[in-house]
Copies of this chain bind each other. A is one copy, B any other.
Amino acid sequence: MYLLKRYEEKKVLVTGGLGFVGSNLALRLAELGAQVHVVDALLPGCGGNRFNLQPAGDRITVSIQDLRNRDFIEQAVAGTDLIFNLAGDVSHLGSMEDPEHDLEINCRAQLALLESCRRANPSVKIVFASSRQLYGRPLSLPVNEAHQVEPVDINGIHKRTAERYHFIYGVYGIRATALRMTNTYGPRQLIRHNLQGFMGWFIRQALLGEEIVLFGDGAQLRDPVYVDDAVHAFLRAGVSPAADGQVFNLGHEPVSLLTIAETLIAICGRGSYRLEPFPPERRLIDIGHYYGDYWKAERLLNWKPQIGLEEGLRRAVEYFREHGEHYL
């Protein structure tokens, strides 16, 4: 498989590499023979977890560092072939409660990384983990990359700002790709609290046999992507010159929140759900149905999701059953 060859011996930096998607990506890169350097600040609430890289032993170098530490980051990016930039905070509600914190993590830290690249490695390629959140409330479905960008929360605004930073730095030679991720789920996800999306929240509650609360009628559609599929998109984007300067949606067959809850309850053999009206602070930033059109990724990256919802949730539940003490 061509990817395997492309990553052999490559020097790769993964920011946010102790987090959910970052750690799964780092582990896969190490399997592919890359020299992987993970940088993670382990900021509270951002999902970093040292246990996530436990399978790698000492094959992955880990630095607990903040992207805003310019001296360190300049050294880290110098000589790197490729940066997978997954550091960030993904909480929508949190960004409304503390927008200045979100600004620090999702804008200033990104600018600091790019400034380091400009100085120490201006020809590097960066794949940036962006978010479908920046579209806001869909005007039409599925949402493609030409859809208007009208974020409904500060996190979405800042993700868009950070995307733009990456492309602006093209004037210095930096090649960038942004993947607009949709709800991702699977092993190593932060499931301890409810601030990193409903997938981790539902998984935790089903595992613990609790009652999952669905807001509204539970019919809202989403397109959850299993983490291995998301990782695959990053790997493709990292070695595809056609991806330079481009944004791509990830996506999957749409499914309702109710179906996701029911599937989880069936897999776990426990738990339940109930419907409840939206709390006002969530209503304000709710986006209704969302599912993305990932035809552009299919065409230019030869990517599409391989893992169905039931299979993905089964793998996630198995992982957390085995390693629950590190996540609950």
Out of B111, B157, B161, B284, name the residue touching A100 (CB < 8 Å).
Answer: B111
CB neighbours (8 Å) of A151 from chain B are 164, 168
Q: A154 to B166, alpha carbons, bound, how many Å?
A: 11
Interface centre among A99, A100, A164, A168 (most CB of B within 10 A): A168
Residue interface mask A34-62, B partner, CB < 8 A = 1:
00000000000000000000000000000
Residue interface mask A102-145, B partner, CB < 8 A = 1:
01000110011001000000000000000000000000000000
Min CB–CB distance A180 → chain B (angstroms): 17
Q: Is A153 an interface residue (CB 8 A)?
A: yes
Q: A165 to B107, alpha carbons, bound, how many Å?
A: 14
If over half of A's interface residues share one DSSP class (helix, strand or loop), that class is named, otherwise mixed; here it is helix
Q: A152 to B171, alpha carbons, bound, how many Å?
A: 9
B152 A157 Cβ-Cβ under 8 A = no
Min CB–CB distance A101 → chain B (angstroms): 10
Chain A, range 268-300, C-beta contacts under 8 Å to B: 284-285
Given A111-B154, A152-B168, 17 more pairs with CB closer than 8 A: A99-B165, A100-B108, A100-B111, A100-B112, A103-B107, A103-B108, A103-B111, A107-B107, A107-B161, A151-B168, A153-B168, A157-B161, A157-B165, A158-B161, A160-B161, A160-B164, A161-B161
Interface residues of A (CB under 8 A from B): 99-100, 103, 107-108, 111-112, 115, 151-154, 157-158, 160-161, 164-165, 168, 171, 284-285
The 10 closest A-B CB pairs, nearest first, are A171-B284, A157-B164, A161-B161, A99-B111, A100-B111, A103-B108, A157-B161, A103-B107, A103-B111, A154-B168
